[in-house]
Chain A
Amino acid sequence: MKYDTKDFKLLKNEEIAKGIFDWTVENSELCKLAKAGQFVNIKVPSRTLRRPISICDACENTLRLVFQVKGEGTKLMSQMPVGSYVEILAPLGNGFKLEKGKRYCFVGGGIGVPPLLFSAKQTENPMIITGFRNKDLIILQDDFKKVSDEVYLTTDDGSAGIHGFVTDVLKEHLGEVDEVCACGPIPMLKAVAEVCKGEVNCQVSLEERMGCGIGACLVCACKTKTSEGEAMTQVCRTGPVYNAEEVFYDA
């Protein structure tokens, strides 16, 4: 079995920053299958589409999911009571490829930061660079500090941490790592990919509006370079993680 739908018990639902919610859900069958960088597809009562959310952390029996309220569906999710059951299709997609012996730098922006926690936990001595628009949107810093001794924080407006972008920090420290894994908005991913080009390998995790979440409906397309030329690939099944050089960021 690769994926399935199951009921998960909501154990925790807490607002950890403005409009950003932190869920812990429990299911002994599907949690142990989760890999770094994968996502889940959550059924929301009264909505036609499920909501795809990245896996922030996974243990034997629990998943941690951190999401931002963006519209009706995520708003309803933020209001679900602890103790209720949520139907989740999981785990989906291809995550980050992490090799032993390599030093990784995890670069995240905004709501792209959560999947990097689970990924960073699986590597040795990772470097973490996360960036946010301002201090009110900062998340998961204490969690990252438990995983790494080298955690950099940037804000676009300088209201916390380093005033600037994640790429400013990445440029300074690129020589200290073997590979970069990034997740965040497209302009950030494009900038990170440019910094890494010709220097170190870079993997990027993308976001796209999805239908089925399993590769059948072809809705979440990403224009990519493949061995056979240019092609539309599915973010939910080929991705969400791609090699940074495969992706057309301006399509």
Chain B
Amino acid sequence: MMPDLSVNLCGVNFNNPLIAASGTFGFGREFCEFYPLEKIGGVSCKGITLKERPGNLPPRIAETEGGILNAVGLQNPGVDHFIKNDLDWLKAQNTVVIANIAGNTVEDYCGMAEKLSDTAVDFIELNISCPNVKSGGVQFGTSCESVGSITSEVKKHCKKPLMVKLSPNVTDISEIAKSAEYSGADVISMINTLTGMRIDINSKRPIIRNNTGGMSGPAVFPVAVRMVWQVYNAVKIPIVGMGGISKWQDAVEMLMAGASALQIGTVLFNDPYAPVKINEGLSRFMEENNINSIKEITGSVIPW
């Protein structure tokens, strides 16, 4: 019997556990040139804000050993444009649609959650962890109080399952996760990027125009696995694990640490077919180990 790759979070069925991470996949149209989007479990769309944002000046990216730094600065056409021009198309691709929202104020987040609640999106992902914008973003995500208050406020305006995306740039991520859970989060997604910096030694200028950027890619993978494992032991709600997953073995490892589903991002720049290949590897691993469903792998690590 073929292993069942599907997962269910909050009553929403995903064809497989791989979700494209916000900011790496646009609204899905570009990757549709490579394969039908139903091959991927879900798409977390590019972070959207209440009003259109131009984003930061370039350069917005720098390569690092085993990864990248980016500081795009939430360039996006705004929530109304997304609903009017992209959502119906994306929804028709037979994949789960997650609207990733970011704001400067609590009111921004609540306003967007309200608008999106009346649409066909399957989830709302609360981005309180973007390190690359001047106000808002990560300032909401770095203390238990602020995570708790924004989660509970948004929850009042949100008729969709709410996924709260956590920043790794905190002292104790389990406490933050507990605060999100207590305040009504349905799912935790983690981790967003780690803040980093690169300097051009000839010009003495930071490579990224924003000076600092968010680090992602294989180099952050062990940090992400550790944090997912800590949070898995601290909360009862499901975790969508991400951070440097680039091959099927990483996917298994992240599931074992406690993730119920996965997001992948940076690897797509290296290989746009990565989700398809990771799903194939995952399926083979399950078959060889007589595993029938993804949830059997979730949290199956045997700690020393």
Contact = CB atoms under 8 A, between A and B. Distances in A.
Interface of A: 1-5, 43, 47-50, 71-73, 89, 208-223, 230-232, 237, 251
A209 B25 contact: no
A233 to B, nearest CB: 10
A231 B77 CA distance: 10
B270 A50 contact: yes
Chain B, interface residues (CB within 8 Å), range: 35 or more
B30 A215 contact: yes
Contact of B271 (A4, A5, A218, A221): A5
B57 A221 contact: yes
Nearest to B46: A218
B34 interface: yes
Given A212-B268, A232-B55, A48 B61 contact: no
Given A217-B24, A218-B46, A218-B75, A47 B30 contact: no
B178 interface: no
Given A48-B266, A49-B68, A208-B58, A217 B23 contact: yes
Interface in B216-256: 217-218
Contacts, number: 103
B36 interface: no
A63 to B, nearest CB: 19
B262 interface: no
Contacts of A217: 23-24, 26, 70, 72, 269
Contacts of B270: 43, 47-50
A231 B34 CA distance: 28
B60 A43 contact: no
A218 B269 CA distance: 12
A50 B269 CA distance: 7
Given A1-B33, A216-B26, A232-B75, A221 B268 contact: no
Given A211-B61, A232-B54, A43 B75 contact: no
Given A48-B218, A216-B26, A221 B272 contact: no
Nearest to A221: B58
Contact of B72 (A218, A222, A231): A218
18 contacts: A2-B33, A5-B34, A47-B63, A47-B270, A49-B63, A211-B61, A211-B68, A211-B269, A212-B30, A214-B30, A215-B30, A216-B25, A218-B26, A218-B72, A219-B72, A221-B55, A221-B60, A221-B72
B67 interface: yes
8 pairs of A and B residues whose beta carbons are closest in the complex:
A216-B26, A216-B30, A219-B61, A214-B30, A209-B59, A219-B60, A232-B54, A218-B75
Contact of A222 (B58, B266, B269, B272): B58
Contacts of A89: 272
B121 to A, nearest CB: 19
Interface of B: 23-26, 30-31, 33-34, 46, 54-64, 66-68, 70, 72, 75, 217-218, 266, 268-273
Given A50-B269, A216-B31, A73 B61 contact: no
A interface: dominant SS = loop
Nearest to B207: A209
A231 B54 contact: yes
B58 A220 contact: yes
Nearest to A2: B33
Given A212-B24, A223-B57, A3 B266 contact: no
A225 B218 CA distance: 37
Contacts of B68: 48-49, 211
A49 B266 CA distance: 9
Nearest to A49: B63
Contacts of A220: 58, 60-61
B203 to A, nearest CB: 13
B201 to A, nearest CB: 12
Contacts of B55: 218, 221, 232
A3 B26 CA distance: 17
A110 B260 CA distance: 51
Contact of A48 (B59, B60, B269): B269
A30 to B, nearest CB: 13
A5 B273 contact: yes
B269 A49 contact: yes
A159 to B, nearest CB: 23
Contacts of A222: 58
A209 B266 CA distance: 15
B92 to A, nearest CB: 18
Nearest to A223: B57
Contacts of A211: 24, 61, 68, 70, 269
Contacts of A208: 58-59
A219 B70 contact: yes
A3 B287 CA distance: 34
B267 to A, nearest CB: 8
A50 B68 CA distance: 12
B81 to A, nearest CB: 12
